[in-house]
A and B are shown apart, each in its own frame.
Chain A
Amino acid sequence: MMGNKILEVKDLEVKFPVRSKLLASKEEKFKIVIEKVSFSIMEGETFGVVGETGSGKSTIAKTLVGINYPSAGEIYLMGRKINFNKKSDLIFLRRNVGIIFQDPVGSLNPKLRIFDIILEGLNFEEKYTKEEKRDKVYAVAKKVGLNESKLFSYPSELSGGEKQRVSLARAIISPKKILILDEPTSSLDVSIQAQILNLLQNLKEELNLTYIFITHDFNVIKYMCDRLGVLYYGRMLEISEVKDAYENPLHPYTKDLMNANITIEGNSGFESETELGEPARNGCIYLNSCRFKMDICNRDPPMIELNSRLVKCWLYDKSQKEDYIKVKGSN
C-alpha cells in the first residue's frame, strides 16, 4: 500500500518575530522555532511526529496547511513545489491536506450548528448544488459515526469525542490526500480515545489517506504509526520505523524518551537518569541533557543515515566509530 513520496519537506525553517523590549527599537528580532527540518512522507503511511511541549510539533502541522508560512526551505506536495505567496498553491495545499486540532472546543465555531460546521469543509468546492452538499454532510456524518440527531445541535451540546468526530467530518468531507492529526485524542478519556483511534484506522483504509500523527503519547504513536520522527526544540533528531525506534532507539534523546515511557504493565522499576537541561545554543541541541556527550558535540551534527534510518548525532558518524561501539556496549 505504501508508494511514492507524497509530501517532501526540505530544510524547513519557521521563525516568529519577537517583540523587542524597547518599543522604539527598530531592529526586528526573530525566534527560530523550526530549524532545518527535512522529512518525506510516503503515500499511505502514518508518520508520527513526537516531541515534548515546545518542540514545534504544532508549528510544523500549521505550516503544512499554510497557517504559518515557512521562512526558508521547500515543501513539495505530490511533486509540486508550494509557493506560499501564491494563492493557487495555497488552495492546492489546503484542498489536499486536512488538519484536525488538539482542542475540539476551540476549533469549532460555537455559534454554528454542527451541520454548518461540517459544511464549511466544502467552502472551496463550488461545483455542488445545495442538495448535494446536504447529502454529503449526512454521508460523512455517518462515516465518522456521528448520530444524525446531533447535526442540528451546537458544539457545546456535544461530548469531547463527538466534537472530535465533527472535526474529522469537516476535514474529510472534501476528498483529501493527507490528514494531519495534531494530538487528536489527548483531551479525550481513554475509552473514547480507543473509539477515535479505531475510527481513524478504518477511515484511512477506506479513503486511502496518509496520516501525519502528532502526539506526545508514546503508546498511541506505537499503535498508530509506521514511521516516526523525533522532534526536539525545532530540530528533527531521528527518523525511524516505529519498531526500530522502540526496540533500538539511536539518538540519546530517543533513548531517554523510551526509558521514560510508562505502560500499564508497570515498568518503572529502573531509574531514569536523564537530567533535562536547557537546549544548547551552540552545537548539538541536546548537548546539555545528553549522557553520551563528547568533545565533538560542540559542533552541530549532520543528519547521518544508518541502515535507512536517519539520526542527527555524532555517535553514529563513521569517524567516531570507537565511541559508538563503547556506547552500544554500555546500553
Chain B
Amino acid sequence: MINLPRDISHEKNLSEIILEVENLRVSIETIDKRVEVLRGVNLKLKRGEVTAIVGESGSGKTTLAQAIIGVLDTPPVFIESGEIFFDGIKIFPSNEKINFRGQGINMVFQEPLVSLNPVYTIRKQLEESIEVQGLHMKKKEIEEELSKILSDLMIRDVDRVLNSYPHQLSGGMRQRVAIAMAMIQRPKLLILDEPTTGLDLIVQRKIIQLLLKLKKEFGTTLLIITHDLAVAANMADRMYVMYAGKIVESGTKDQVIKDPLHPYSKMLRDSVPSGYKDSGPLRVTEGNPPDISHLPSGCAFHPRCPLAMEICRKEEPTKKVIEDREVLCWLYDGKQNT
C-alpha cells in the first residue's frame, strides 16, 4: 500500500491541478446490456478552488463523485476506461492500493442519516475518524480537537451533540456532523454530494458559509455536486454542467451563469424563477431528461434543444474550446480558437 505524504503543502513545486479526470467512462451492466452512465468525462480541479458540478437527476453527477473516490457499486457499476490523477499520483488505474481516502480525498454523502452509524454516538464516530489517521493522540487532545472542529462548525452545545445518536439530531446538525467527520482529517479535496438538499433555508445558508470558511481556513479544495444552480452560484469558482453522462460546458461561475454557451445551460438558468408573478411565464423547454439507456442519436440534448440543427441529430458534438471555456455543442463549430 502506498501512503500519500501527510502534508506536502509546504513543498514548492506543487502543481496547480489537484485532481485530474481523463476520459472517464463508467457503465452499468444489466442482464441483457451494458449502459454507459459516464461517457468520457474530463475534469480538472484547481487547488484551493470550489468547483461545482450541476445537472439534473440521472446526469451522472453522483456516479462521477463515486468513481473519483472509488466507492462505485462494483458490480454492476464499473469503470470501463479513463484515468484519475490526484496530487500528481495516478490513483486509477493502479496496480497498487493507494491510500488516498481520508486525508487525501474525503466525501460527504447526500443523506447524512445513511452515512452515520445509528448505533454509535457522534463522539464515538468522530473519535474513530481521528484514530484512523494513526496519530496516537491522547484522549484529552482528541477531546480538544473534537470541540474545536464542532465549534468551527458553529455548533453551540458541543457536549449534547457529541453524546447524541444520529437520530436525535436535526437534519442540519447531522449534515454538520458529517462535514465535521470529513474535515477532521484535513482532506486536501472534499467532495460534497448535494450538501444542502433538503435542509431549511437558514441552515442551508449556514452550511454554505461554513464550507466557504473551511475552504479559506484550511485551503481545502471543494467539489460540490448539486442540482441547485443557486447553491452553485453562491459557492463555486468554476462550474461544470453535466447532461446525460457528459460535461456539456465548463467555465468560471460567472461565465456559465451570466453568459452560458450551451443551450442546456441556458435552459437550466432560465428554468429557475427569479422575478415576481408579473414577470411573465418562465421560458421552458418541453421534454424530459433523457433515459440514459435509450439515448437519442447525435447530441443527447437535441430533442429538447431549441437551436437543434441537422448535424445535431446525426453526430455527437466534439469539444470546442472558446477562449478559456469548453463547450460541447455544434453551434460553436468553427468558432473556436486554435
Contact = CB atoms under 8 A, between A and B. Distances in A.
Given A197-B282, A220-B273, A190 B268 contact: yes
A53 B56 contact: no
Interface string B191-228: 00000000011111110110010000000000000011
Interface centre among A159, A224, A261, A268 (most CB of B within 10 A): A268
B201 A257 contact: yes
A216 interface: yes
7 contacts: A190-B229, A191-B271, A195-B286, A242-B277, A263-B230, A264-B257, A268-B208
A53 B171 contact: yes
Contact of A264 (B156, B171, B229, B282): B229
Given A194-B273, A219-B274, 15 more contacts: A161-B288, A191-B271, A193-B271, A194-B283, A219-B273, A260-B202, A260-B204, A261-B201, A262-B205, A262-B233, A264-B274, A266-B257, A268-B208, A268-B234, A272-B205
Contacts of B171: 53
B205 A194 contact: no
Interface in B290-336: none
Contacts of A275: 154, 156
Nearest to A197: B282
A246 B274 CA distance: 12
Interface in A180-198: 189-195, 197-198
A266 B202 contact: no
A189 B257 contact: no
Contacts of A197: 273, 282
The 6 closest A-B pairs by CB, nearest first: A223-B273, A194-B271, A52-B200, A260-B205, A189-B56, A268-B234
A266 B282 contact: no
A53 B229 contact: no
B274 A263 contact: yes
Interface in B95-109: none
Contacts of B275: 222-223
A89 to B, nearest CB: 33
A216 B203 CA distance: 12
A153 interface: no
Given A191-B271, A262-B208, A264-B257, A242 B201 contact: no
A257 B283 CA distance: 27
Contacts of B230: 219, 262-264
B113 interface: no
Contacts of B267: 191
Given A222-B275, A256-B202, A272-B209, A191 B257 contact: no
Interface of A: 46, 52-53, 159, 161-162, 189-195, 197-198, 201, 216, 218-220, 222-226, 242-243, 246, 256-257, 259-268, 271-272, 274-276
Given A189-B56, A266-B234, A52 B202 contact: yes
B20 to A, nearest CB: 27
Contacts of A193: 271
A305 B107 CA distance: 49
A226 B278 CA distance: 10
B253 to A, nearest CB: 7
Contacts of B257: 264, 266
Contacts, number: 122
Interface centre among A195, A198, A224 (most CB of B within 10 A): A195
Contact of B277 (A162, A218, A225, A262): A225
A264 B201 contact: no
B284 interface: yes
Interface centre among B208, B277, B283 (most CB of A within 10 A): B277
Interface of B: 56-57, 154, 156, 171, 200-206, 208-209, 212, 227-231, 233-235, 253, 257, 267-277, 279, 281-286, 288-289
A256 B119 CA distance: 36
B274 A189 contact: no
Contacts of B279: 223
Nearest to A145: B286
B233 A191 contact: no
Contacts of A162: 288
Nearest to B54: A190
Contacts of A53: 171, 200
Given A194-B282, A264-B233, A264-B257, A223 B200 contact: no
Nearest to B57: A189
B288 A159 contact: yes
B273 A52 contact: no
A198 B282 contact: yes
A262 B270 contact: no
Given A190-B56, A223-B279, A265 B271 contact: no
A146 to B, nearest CB: 12
Contacts of A272: 202, 205-206, 209
B273 A265 contact: no
Interface centre among A189, A190, A192 (most CB of B within 10 A): A190
Nearest to A187: B57
A224 B277 CA distance: 5
Nearest to B228: A190
A170 B102 CA distance: 50
A268 B276 CA distance: 20
Contacts of A261: 201
